[in-house]
Structure 1
Amino acid sequence: MLMQRHRSLVVISNMQEGILPILDTNESFLWNNCWLMGLANKLEVPVLVMEHKGLGRLVEPVLRLARGSAPCEIVTFSYVSAPAAVERIRATGRDQLILAGNETHISIVQTSLEARSKGFEAYVLAEACAARDREDHVESLPRIRQGGATIVTREMILFEWIPCSTDPIYMETSIDFVKHPHPFPRNQP
């Protein structure tokens, strides 16, 4: 199934001050999450930011790209098991969840494995996911696939959300997010 921007909801997981410093990752992890949020903002795809209780505040770039949308505070590891999160997801009218954030082997795995049973398709941007231990991240990806979710890349998302070069937003978006990729492209705060 192709991702479609009118059906997609970006779900960003636990990009919080208390966990980011202990993840086995590099700068590209945060950058890739911000890139995804920036693309979603540009194409008017809603973004829902999850904030796990007790892990501190969201990091500044994520707060900035959330554009004033209140984070959804959760205590469950699967977001589709949290009634408040499911309510917020369903309120968007979207059924394709684009998952990113941390930790891959916990929240991303559990949410992606349960998504179908709740009526959602799950897509995981692997390059925007991380765990405290690299092995946990790596071993999570086959399990996510086996569970029926789809592992995707940044460009898969972009070119499925804009499937035709005649789309009026294609040229500007491809310059901002492919040719000169930056999570805060032109004309965004």
Structure 2
Amino acid sequence: MLKPEECVLVVVDIQGGLAGIMEQSEALHQTVLKLIQGLRLFEIPTLWLEQLPQKLGKTSPMLSEELIKTCSPISKQHFSGWNCHDFREQLQQSKRKQIILVGIEAHICVYQTCLDLVKNGFEPHIVVDAVSSRTAENKRIGIEMMQERGAHITNMESLLFELQHEATGERFKQLLKLIK
């Protein structure tokens, strides 16, 4: 069971022209945006990765405008975020083990980051409607590979309501507004 005090959101490489050519790109962006906003209601910290932003471009504006409110991008050159010292250090300093993982591409950067997280004792939760690849087949394969290697599979609404636990209170009302 996910616990807000144990979670960190990791946003992987939703940037530049590549973000726009992902399978169901608009739906991906909307889901990630709702997830960022929803997780903020639980005070869950975010780590935001960008793959070679000087070459691939910055994070999509609709997401970066929301992310910049609570964190700064971490530039990386390896496919796995784990190989980035700043990312690894911030994650370890959080002392949180449940990783909510979203981003692109499911079969490359998200997959390799997930694999390294599992190898290093973390518990990744892949939000399947908040990850994508250029093709549906690559997304499917990426999700399967992550699940086979120990990742938990979820979706945005299931995850938010798992964190919420009960259908009462102001946060519940805000979550309902957010997902509708």
Q: TM-score, normalised by structure 2?
A: 0.90
1:80 paired with 2:82, answer: yes
Partner residue, 2:112? 110
| Corresponding residue SS for 2:15 | coil
> Cα deviations across residues 104-154 of structure 1 (Å, max 9, x unaligned)?
001111111221221211110010111112210011122111100011111
> Between Structure 1 and Structure 2, which shows a larger proportion of helix residues?
2
Letter of the aligned partner of 2:20 in structure 1? P
Partner residue, 1:185? none
| Corresponding residue SS for 2:150 | coil
Structure 2 CA distance for partners of 1:116 and 1:180, relative to 1, 3 Å? closer
Q: In structure 1, what is the Cα distance between the partners aligned to 2:108 and 2:171?
A: 32
Equivalent residues in 2 for 1:150-165, closer than 5 Å: 150-165=152-167
Q: In structure 1, what is the Cα distance between the partners aligned to 2:169 and 2:155?
A: 20
Q: In structure 2, what is the Cα distance between the partners aligned to 1:180 and 1:43?
A: 14
Equivalent residues in 2 for 1:45-124, closer than 5 Å: 45-53=44-52, 54-66=55-67, 67-124=69-126
Cα pair 1:18 1:57 within 8 Å, conserved: no
Cα pair 2:106 2:142 within 8 Å, conserved: yes
> Cα deviations across residues 45-91 of structure 1 (Å, max 9, x unaligned)?
00111111121111222112211521011111111222221011112
Q: In structure 2, what is the Cα distance between the partners aligned to 1:180 and 1:19?
A: 27
Q: In structure 1, what is the Cα distance between the partners aligned to 2:164 and 2:179?
A: 16
Partner residue, 2:175? 177
Q: TM-score, normalised by structure 1?
A: 0.86
Partner residue, 1:43? 42
Q: In structure 2, what is the Cα distance between the partners aligned to 1:152 and 1:42?
A: 19
Q: In structure 2, what is the Cα distance between the partners aligned to 1:9 and 1:137?
A: 22
| Corresponding residue SS for 2:24 | coil
Cα pair 1:175 1:181 within 8 Å, conserved: no
Q: In structure 2, what is the Cα distance between the partners aligned to 1:70 and 1:35?
A: 19
Partner residue, 1:186? none
Structure 2 CA distance for partners of 1:33 and 1:180, relative to 1, 3 Å? closer
